[in-house]
């Protein structure tokens, strides 16, 4: 008798039985879920998806399975919501049920469930409420957020003049300038553009963002227990996250040593004062772990998304110089050349506002949105979605929904202009998401985009060595639509 062969058969039989048992148990749990492609053992639907281009893969699947369907990322099911109607019904009409944040294994090894981004329940509610109130009321008699932005744009203008009309990639300067605004609000200081510690910090942020949104990041979230121990970009991600956390903890310590409770300088000071007020509460959420991670959340949110939008915006205006010229005409008419643009000017500049809206819609910089989770088992569109299930409200499918935008794949300012040339609202314009998890920094981001673009166009003309018709304004391929193409431009004084 071939005992080796018999042992192999028994092992195969045992594995098959175990798989069948697990499948049966899983199917019992997920009965009534939306339809979707049949998953394979362990890897789910990964072979049926292009992990480098998930938004495109989800769009193709929606043609077969409709606006609400299920995919398996590894052994974890995820509900995909495609198109504005499905996303609105979830995030707005059923806001409470869809307000949780799903697990992020790529980040949780360092951040746990602390901070604003990854937390749920009472912790998330308290931290979000405090952060939004502090940001909204920030200043307490000092400079407003608008003044800080205007100041930073002036610094940026001086750096642009140093280029002396030579071509340069704007990514570096835009990231420094935008990041300095959130640094001013959170840390109470701005950094010089040559500051080595500041440059190192931004490089870490760039690398972390690149890994988390990449193919490797998707795999890490799908197979965290396996891949977190494999050498490579995952290990560098953990090292960078740990370094970033250490930088923030150092800043918190400096603030504790110099804190004046009667004169808070920034977000950290306000938080430390709140910690002191809550020190008698054993269940308080205002402690160092939540402070550290919340600051990192704000720093990430206040740096990467806005600078990427501005980078896209300038590239789009290089492709459409006639649009840039019309914005400059509106600036000259409303603002002139003798003062800086202000937030109040937006009311009198409908064309510029329409262009900015269309830049945000077309740039579509967070195409998958940040995934949610259902806080309770819910019946949604006739399907049963169990508590804790991951949900992707696919933002690109909203911003490019043909039901709400006549030319969804084209850059078209008329999407936001009516026949009278006034700004036209569109309910599907939700670049900051919607519902209870809408980006808490929306107001500041909109202010930054307007003031940066208008001040740059007030002072400079945009030029490129490329023929505008050859400029590609789509994102880099194989990046899940999150990375813009590199380019150079020339800015000459007007």
Q: What is the CATH number of the domain that holds 102?
A: 1.10.630.10
Residue 202's pLDDT is 87
Distance CA 104, CA 176 (A): 27
Reduced to 3 states, what is the DSSP secondary structure of residue 121? helix
Q: Position of tokens 């979830």?
A: 90
**What pLDDT is stored for residue 141 in this prediction?**
44
- Written as six digits, the tokens of 216 are 């490797």
Q: Specify the DSSP class assigned to residue 476.
A: P
Angle of helix 442-459 versus helix 145-161 axis, rounded to 10? 40
CA-CA-CA-CA torsion sign (398, 403, 408, 414): negative
What total of structural domains would you count in the chain? 1
Asked whether residue 104 is domain-assigned, the answer is: yes
Report the alpha-carbon distance of residue 96 to residue 378 in Å, rounded: 11
CB-side exposure of 303: number of CA atoms within 13 Å?
Answer: 26
Give me the average pLDDT of each 10-residue run along the chain (494 residues): 49 50 48 92 89 93 97 92 98 97 82 91 95 74 79 96 95 94 91 90 83 71 68 76 90 95 92 95 94 92 91 97 98 96 96 98 94 96 95 97 97 97 97 95 94 98 94 90 90 95
Task: Provide the token pair at 256.
Answer: 């504790």
**CA separation, residue 73 to residues 11, 218, 294, 389, 438 (Å):** 27, 9, 28, 12, 25
Q: Any bridge partners for residue 69, and if so which?
A: 80
- pLDDT for position 90: 98
* Torsion from C-alpha of 179, 182, 183, 184, nearest 10 degrees: 120
Beta strands, E only, 265-343: none
What's the domain range around 136? 32-493
pTM for the whole thing?
Answer: 0.91
In 187-287, where does DSSP find H-type helix?
A: 196-212, 215-222, 224-227, 233-258, 267-277
Asked if residue 25 belongs to a domain, the reply is no
Query: How many angstroms separate the CA atoms of 49 and 72, rounded?
Result: 10
pLDDT of residue 143: 65
| Spatial CA neighbour of 168 closest among 458, 473, 491, 471 | 491
H helix runs in 92-168, sequence order: 105-111, 121-136, 145-161
Q: 3-state class of 271 per DSSP?
A: helix
What per-residue confidence (pLDDT) applies to 200? Answer: 87
Residue 233 belongs to a domain:
yes
DSSP state of 51: G
Domain membership flag for residue 7: no
User: Which residue is associated with the tokens 């510029």?
Assistant: 352
Residue 429 belongs to some domain of the structure: yes
Residue 15 lies in a domain: no
Q: What is the pLDDT of residue 145?
A: 87
Residue count of the chain: 494
Per-residue tokens: 57: 């893969």
| 36 is a domain residue | yes
Q: So what's the pLDDT on residue 104? A: 81
Does some domain include residue 182? yes
CA 379 to the chain's CA centroid: 28
**H or E element at residue 5:** helix 3-29
Supply angle C-alpha 97, 98, 102, rounded to 5: 120
The CB density around residue 208, as the number of other CB atoms within 10 Å, is 23
């Amino acid at each position: 008798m071939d005992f080796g062969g018999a042992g192999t058969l028994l092992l195969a039989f045992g594995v098959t039985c175990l798989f069948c048992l697990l499948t049966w148990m899983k199917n019992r749990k997920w009965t009534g879920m939306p339809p979707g492609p049949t998953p394979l053992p362990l890897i789910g639907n990964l072979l049926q998806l292009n992990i480098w281009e998930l938004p495109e893969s989800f769009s193709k699947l929606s043609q077969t399975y409709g606006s609400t369907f299920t995919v398996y990322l590894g052994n974890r099911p995820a509900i995909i919501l495609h198109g504005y109607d499905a996303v609105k019904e979830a995030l707005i009409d059923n806001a409470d049920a869809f307000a949780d944040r799903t697990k992020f294994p790529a980040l949780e090894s360092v951040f746990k469930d602390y901070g604003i981004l990854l937390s749920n329940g009472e912790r998330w509610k308290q931290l979000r409420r405090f952060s939004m109130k502090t940001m909204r009321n920030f200043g307490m008699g000092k400079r407003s957020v608008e003044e800080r932005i205007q100041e930073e744009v002036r610094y940026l203008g001086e750096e642009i003049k140093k280029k002396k009309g030579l071509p340069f990639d704007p990514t570096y300067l835009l990231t420094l300038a935008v990041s300095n605004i959130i640094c001013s609000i959170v840390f109470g200081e701005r950094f010089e553009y040559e500051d080595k510690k500041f440059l190192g910090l931004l490089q870490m942020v760039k690398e972390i963002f690149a890994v988390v949104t990449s193919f490797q990041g998707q795999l890490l979230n799908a197979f965290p227990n396996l891949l977190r121990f494999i050498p490579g970009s995952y290990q560098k991600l953990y090292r960078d996250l740990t370094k970033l956390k250490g930088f923030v903890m150092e800043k918190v310590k400096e603030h504790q040593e110099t804190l004046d409770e009667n004169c808070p300088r920034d977000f950290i000071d306000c938080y430390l004062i709140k910690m002191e007020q809550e020190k008698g509460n054993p269940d308080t959420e205002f402690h160092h772990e939540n402070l550290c991670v919340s600051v990192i959340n704000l720093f990430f949110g206040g740096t990467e998304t806005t600078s990427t939008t501005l980078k896209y915006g300038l590239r789009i205006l290089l492709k459409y110089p006639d649009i840039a010229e019309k914005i400059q005409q509106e600036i000259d008419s409303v603002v002139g050349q003798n003062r800086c643009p202000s937030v109040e000017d937006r009311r009198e500049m409908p064309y510029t506002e329409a262009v900015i809206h269309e830049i945000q819609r077309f740039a579509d910089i967070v195409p998958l949105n940040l995934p949610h989770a259902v806080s309770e088992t819910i019946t949604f569109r006739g399907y049963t979605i169990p508590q804790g299930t991951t949900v992707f409200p696919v933002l690109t499918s909203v911003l490019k929904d043909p039901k709400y935008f006549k030319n969804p794949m084209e850059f078209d300012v008329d999407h936001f202009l009516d026949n009278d040339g006034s700004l036209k609202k569109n309910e599907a314009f939700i670049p900051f998401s919607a519902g209870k998890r809408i980006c808490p920094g929306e107001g500041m981001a909109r202010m930054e985009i307007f003031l940066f673009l208008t001040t740059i166009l007030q002072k400079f003309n945009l030029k490129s060595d490329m023929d505008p018709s050859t400029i590609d304004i789509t994102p880099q391929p194989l990046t899940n639509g999150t990375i813009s193409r590199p380019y150079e431009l020339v800015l000459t004084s007007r």
